[in-house]
Amino acid sequence: MTTPPPPEIPETDLADWEHTDETVESLFSLPGVSVAGHTYVYERDQRFFFASRLSFQPPLPLSVETAIEPTVLSAAESQLEDRLLDRGATTVSFDDQQSVEINDIPGRAVTFESKHERGTIFEGQLAVTRPDGLRVAGGAYPADASDGRETLWRLIANVE
């Protein structure tokens, strides 16, 4: 499996975030294709953000990457749900996937909500884009955060 390079995120966007994790791992398999991801995770004030650059073995043509975006987003939803449950969520619910354009780049996105053991409710977004290969990015913030959605979308939009 080819190791994907790390995702590129402007450091100015993450100046007050703590880089808490970096992984390179096999994420999932599709028929005849294995998928690895290089992921960075950042945290700040009950918020988290992550970005992954994906690598396919064998490499996929752009038309196939486009066709599998919904499948990749569904796999990312499943992994994110598992991680949220591991971090204390009691429920996680996803809205329907939507086609989006982020910085004039087509992709797919989904919003979600998670409720945690102490009653805290978090909202978040998860997106798949393809600036030059597939990227998965997302995160969560307290539902009552006035700038949560805006900040998270700005971070997602700047992942390369």
Domain spans in the chain, listed from the N-terminal domain onward: 11-157
Strands 18-30 and 33-44: antiparallel
One-letter amino acid of 62: L
For residue 107, list its beta bridge partners: 100, 129
15 CA to centre of own chain: 19
Q: Tens digit of pLDDT per residue, the chain (160 long)?
A: 678 899 999 989 899 999 999 999 988 777 788 889 999 999 998 999 999 999 988 988 888 888 889 989 999 999 999 999 998 999 999 999 999 998 888 899 999 999 998 899 999 999 999 877 889 999 999 999 999 999 999 999 999 8
What does the longest C-alpha to C-alpha distance in the chain come to? Answer: 46
The number of C-alpha atoms within 13 Å of 134 and in the hemisphere containing its C-beta is 27
> Which residues, including other chains, have CB under 8 Å from residue 105's CB and lie 6 or more apart?
129, 130, 131
* Residue 128 contacts residue 73 (beta carbons within 8 Å): yes
Give the H/E segment covering residue 67. helix 62-86
Query: Domain 11-157 is in which class?
Result: alpha beta
Q: What is the pTM of this model?
A: 0.92
One-letter amino acid of 77: E
Residue with structure tokens 């791992």?
25
